[in-house]
Amino acid sequence: MRIILATGRKAEGMVRDAVRTATVSLDCEVLTQDLDIAAFSTPKTLRKALEQYRGSEKLDCTLILVSGFCKADFSALEREIAIPIRLGPRHAYDIGEALQFAEETEFSPNTPADLFLAAKRKEMVKHQLYELESGVKESFSLKGVKIGGGARMKVCAELVDATLMKEEEIQRTIAHFLKSGADILDIGVHIGAKPDAVKKAVKTALTIAPEVPLSIDTVDAELIRAGIEAGVDMVLSVNKENISEVGDELRGNDVAAVVIPDRDGTQKTNESLFATIKMAEEYGIKRIIADPILNAIGYGIAESLYNYYSFRVRDKSTPLFFGVGNVIELMDADSVGITATLAGIASELNADILFTPECSDKARGSVRELRVAAEMMMLSKARKSAPKDLGIDLLMLKEKRREPVMRISDTKRIDARKNETWELDPEGCFRIAICEVEGDGGSDKKICAHHLPTGKLIIGKSAPEIMDTILRLNLVSLLEHVSYLSRELTKAELALRLDRSYEQDEALF
């Protein structure tokens, strides 16, 4: 396969370096057009460069790649020369990766190759995960959700103090958790809750999401019975104190039981856990999940991980419950890396259910992070590789590859300086905020630009679309105001994408 990479003078060196270092056995030629910026390529500049390159000879290649930033339509030239012209990656450092897929993939004339390949990889990942899950013979299932047997680790998301929530709050929380990828919903029970409150919360959740497995989080036998009566599929938690009171109900309703050890000393944790599992089996409970209990950092996490390991060495088949919530909630650190690491440890332990609430603000998003991490670990096991280069990741602020930093000389350098004064725009001002639109069909947050004095509310998901709308409506008249709005809207979009708070005129970090 012979490929021509059409570029401009500025990027020629970077493109040649990328081709030279690419680990592919393709015949690649760099074609420099008569322009500085490759993104400004047009059919005219490309035709001229090709004519100079080939002279009177027939063009001998199977694919032409232009810059991924190109906006021109090359379809007419493509028909004329009978050679596909496609968008390459936007940045030269992605050329090597794109070339690896050139023989097996038809690139797009409209989507840059790096974005096209990322989307294609995600499709492949989704299909592989489906195939892997379909091929699993589970230990048991909850409403069709496979547990054990090598199935993907399932994410159980707790509605903390659901028994105190109003119906609207339960509905909003469930919608958020399901959108985040939760497989099981856990009804958290507040201290002092009554059976009627448990039944109401369970029935509300069942009305909202009848197809999703429900669990109830309490050790109180009376409340467990209320949850079973209302229709839960799983109980957290069964121990030696309550099993004699709820064992018959668990067996009779075929409810799954998460069994926990006694709290009378960590040295006896596994012994008491195995003893309670044996009691559960004697009661005829068929669906048993073991929970050695993961302690938070500072409260014995190392010993609790040892208990998990020891349990799995002794019992290789009973599904394992791995509650990461305490670790995430009790550490002032970003949850993403913690979540990924704990999911990796859980995967090595062949755990089956990952449990977390999103109780504190800093843990917001941990359900989605757990779902992605669980998928990463399943792919990692299937590919017998480290959890990297999988097609999905949990990178948010750091990058897999960095673009080279521009080098400049002091020639014509001007040091920037902020203006100390500003002028009020005659067309008015804007109040920018993050908002939720009532009746918008979901809980998605958006950016709101509220114009005064007209009262217009411009709502959108990105800074460019809001700024373009402001310009289209002629709501600004000063360049200084345009610059200010662009800065603030960009900050608001970053806050939205990172799920951070936003306040106008205040630093984001």
In this structure, what are the phi and psi dihedrals at residue 108, rounded to the nearest 5 degrees? -95, 145
Amino acid 265: pLDDT: 53
Res 25: pLDDT:
83
Q: Which domains does the chain have, with CATH numbers?
A: 2-125 (3.40.50), 152-383 (3.20.20.20), 429-498 (no CATH)
Q: Which of 283, 202, 294 is nearest to 246 (CA)?
A: 283
> What does each C-alpha distance from 192 to 161, 189, 297 come to in angstroms?
11, 8, 28
Residue 266: the pLDDT is 52
Identify which of 239, 251, 308, 260 has the alpha carbon closest to the alpha carbon of residue 281: 251
The pLDDT score that the predictor gives to residue 118 is 87
* Torsion 192-194-197-198 (CA) sign: positive
**Cα–Cα distance, 154 to 177 (Å, whole number):** 13
Q: What pLDDT was estimated at residue 486?
A: 96
Tell if the pTM clears 0.75, that is, is over it: yes
54 CB-near residues (< 8 Å, 6+ apart): 60
Rounded to 5 degrees, φ, ψ at 458 are -100, 120
Q: What are the phi and psi torsion angles at 392 (to 5°)?
A: -135, 155
Phi, psi of 335 (to 5 degrees): -75, -20
Query: What integer pLDDT is reported at residue 396 of this predicted model?
Result: 87
3-class DSSP state of 65: strand
398: which 2 tokens? 């750091």
Q: Which of 133, 128, 235 is nearest to 184 (CA)?
A: 235
Structure-token pair, residue 426? 């005659």
- 337-359 per-position pLDDT tens digit: 999 999 999 999 999 999 999 98
Residue 208 neighbours by CB under 8 Å, 6+ apart: 170, 171, 174
Low-confidence ranges of the chain (pLDDT < 50): none
Alpha-carbon distance of 401 to 413, in angstroms, equals: 29
